[in-house]
Amino acid sequence: MTRTTRPFVEIDRVSMRFGGIAALCDVSFAVPERAIVGLIGPNGAGKTTLFNCISRLYQPQSGDIRVQGKSILHAPVHEMPAFGIGRTFQNLALYPALSVEANVMVGAHPLVNCSALAEALGMPWARRAEASARARVREVLEALGLERQASRLVAQLTYADRKRVEIARALVCRPRLLLLDEPAGGLHHEEVAVLAALIRSLRDAHGLSVLLVEHHLNLVMTVSDHVVALDFGHKIADGPPAQVRNEPAVQKAYLGEMDDAALA
Ligand SMILES: Nc1ncnc2c1ncn2[C@@H]1O[C@H](COP(=O)(O)OP(=O)(O)OP(=O)(O)O)[C@@H](O)[C@H]1O
């Protein structure tokens, strides 16, 4: 699939404070169409706050966020599905006592798009919408190699498979932008390599733009086309992985956080 440099998302001078804490200070960068952009920074740098602004959980005090040129911050929250943003959460936000299929079905809710009454009464259009959402869920489970786990409870899965379920749920509504919040957290070395291949293949197969928050720097540097680094809410670097890795401000921000090998 051809990549372009046209921005899919533009973060434009976004600032967000929590009382006296400046979590984001005038942060600007773009996620080009079909690009994988890694967002790095030490603990407390502002990465999750930015994700929460893009998914409209937080409203920044100033700046704008545009998807294909249209401001999401000025759009009503119920219009958000139309912007095509899917996300996963740092601490898995799954229902352990429900099946894999049921968990992914939760993400398909916007596809059903019928009143609760129509669903409860089993109206024909509600049944058709639900059948089509179930078909989509099965398609995504298959794409992620989870089809044989569909009826298992999430509580019975390995941690790596739970992470896949989160990604499946984020994909079910056919997003154009996938926000991945620490997908490698808690994974073993080999599982991280599998994850890297999965992220690339999802981008290639579906033409997705991906914004990846990750502490696993080797994964970020391997998989990203472009890397943005934050520190104390400020953008300190923005460029190709090799350039950002060697940026003195990035090296300094990480000093003491992790061994130098992570950045070598
Ligand atoms: N809801 C909140 N209320 C108050 N302060 C907050 C809130 N959310 C984040 N912060 C503060 O904003 C700053 C940025 O936090 P954020 O969680 O965005 O950083 P992060 O880069 O995602 O860190 P980590 O890598 O540890 O997840 C921190 O100082 C944090 O304590």
Query: H-helix or E-strand containing 257?
Result: none
Mutate to test the pocket of ligand 1, among 11, 14, 21 (most ligand atoms within 8 A of CB): 21
| Pocket mutation for ligand 1, best pick of 48, 53, 90, 228 (most atoms within 8 Å of C-beta) | 48
DSSP letter (8 states) at residue 151: T
Cβ of residue 23 lying under 6 Å from some atom of ligand 1: yes
Whole-angstrom CA distances from 128 to 4, 108, 123, 193, 237 are 37, 14, 9, 39, 49
ipTM over 0.90: yes
Residue 133's pLDDT band (boundaries 50, 70, 90)?
Answer: confident
Q: What is the pLDDT of residues 92-123, one digit of tens each?
A: 678 888 999 999 988 776 655 655 555 555 65
Write the residue with the smallest CA distance to atom 28 of ligand 1: 44
- Ligand 1 in contact with 18 (CB < 6 A)? yes
CA-nearest of 178, 182, 204, 202 to 192 is 182
Task: Using the structure block, give the residue that is written with the tokens 């996620």.
Answer: 31
**pLDDT for the residue 264:** 44
- Parallel, antiparallel, or unpaired: how do β-strands 36-40 and 226-231 relate? parallel
Q: Name the pLDDT band for 47 (thresholds 50, 70, 90).
A: very high
Q: What is the mean pLDDT of the chain?
A: 86
- The model carries a pTM of 0.87
Top-ranked range on mean pLDDT: pick from 81-85, 86-90, 197-201: 197-201
- Any atom of ligand 1 within 6 Å of the Cβ of 91: no
Q: How far is the CA of 117 from the centre of ligand 1 (A)?
A: 40
The helix-helix angle for 159-171 and 100-107 (nearest 10°) equals: 30
